[in-house]
């Protein structure tokens, strides 16, 4: 990352440095001051991210940044480089966008989910907003938090894996480093007064999982590749619907 304003260096280093690597596949992005505003944003409403593609590469625009990417290089134009929080959010969104495609290029995908590791295995819990991802994390004090927001799911040599991501969620991660665990299961969350675990048909599971993949609105046409990977992961790992109540008893079901 080049062109980083001095006042952001410490914050960026704290959050992302364990995840940076100098390998040929690494991505380089140049930060620059941009226009004062891009998309209109109504305070309190959901953040808008608009993707497109032209002959120079892919474009992502939000209210406070515009980004262009071609291959392993990108430019990120910040509306308010002097505003640390605003700029950090723009950088975070650029990295999420880029990681989504880098993961696909490497046979993986990022998943809007809570990832927890226990006894050497990863358990990934997903569902729409309000399904209970943060609740699951708060009910699991003995588990390592991979992320309560975005989990990286990858194909390893011996099966599917789940990895930490540096992205900001509600809970602090157990350690700010890269860690990968074998994926023990995917669980679609349903809050319920009773506890139950039921295996989902693969088709339904894929539909539910696809709905939790970021950038699911897809002018960049990544869905064909993504759906194949999600299907493979669902088929090989297994997806269950987890009905859980507000205590840690669900672990007795998911760890079986």
Residues that bind other proteins (CB under 8 A): 201-204, 206-208, 210-211, 216-219, 221, 223-224, 227-228, 231
Which residue, 83 or 231, is less far from other proteins as judged by CB?
Answer: 231
| Minimum CB distance to other proteins, residue 153 (Å) | 17
| Minimum CB distance to other proteins, residue 190 (Å) | 16
Which residue, 30 or 216, is less far from other proteins as judged by CB?
Answer: 216
| Minimum CB distance to other proteins, residue 235 (Å) | 8
- Residue 80 Rama label (left phi>0; alpha psi -120 to 50; beta): beta
How far apart are alpha carbons 240 and 124 in whole angstroms?
A: 11
Q: Tell me if 70 sits within 8 A of 29, measured CB to CB.
A: no
**Residue 182: count of CB within 10 angstroms of its CB:** 15
Which residue, 40 or 221, is less far from other proteins as judged by CB?
Answer: 221
**Residues linked to residue 117 through DSSP beta bridges, in sequence order:** 122, 144
| Minimum CB distance to other proteins, residue 227 (Å) | 5
Q: Which residues contact 178 (CB under 8 A, 6 or more apart)?
A: 18, 19, 163, 164
Which residue, 116 or 208, is less far from other proteins as judged by CB?
Answer: 208
């Amino acid at each position: 990352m080049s062109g980083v304003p001095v006042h952001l260096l410490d914050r960026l280093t704290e959050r992302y440095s364990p995840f940076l690597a100098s390998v040929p596949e690494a991505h380089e992005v140049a930060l620059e001051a941009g226009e004062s505003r891009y998309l209109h944003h109504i305070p309190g409403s959901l953040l808008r991210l608009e993707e497109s593609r032209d002959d120079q590469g892919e474009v992502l625009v939000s209210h406070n940044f515009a980004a262009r990417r071609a291959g392993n290089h990108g430019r990120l134009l910040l509306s308010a480089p002097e505003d640390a929080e605003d700029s950090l959010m723009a950088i975070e969104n650029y990295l999420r966008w880029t990681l989504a495609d880098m993961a696909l290029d490497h046979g993986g995908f990022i998943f809007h989910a809570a990832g927890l590791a226990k006894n050497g295995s990863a358990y990934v819990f997903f569902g729409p907003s309000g399904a209970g991802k943060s609740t699951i994390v708060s009910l699991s004090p003995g588990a390592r938090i991979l992320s309560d927001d975005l989990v990286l799911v990858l194909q390893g040599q011996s099966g599917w894996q789940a990895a930490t991501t540096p992205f900001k969620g509600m809970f602090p991660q157990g350690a700010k480093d890269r860690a990968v665990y074998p994926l023990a299961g995917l669980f679609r969350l349903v809050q319920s007064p009773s506890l139950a675990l039921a295996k989902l048909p693969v088709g339904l599971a894929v539909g539910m999982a696809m709905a939790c993949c970021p950038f699911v609105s897809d002018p960049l046409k990544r869905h064909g590749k993504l759906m194949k990977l999600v299907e493979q992961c669902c088929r090989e790992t297994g997806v269950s619907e987890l009905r859980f109540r507000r205590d840690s008893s669900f672990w007795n079901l998911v760890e079986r």
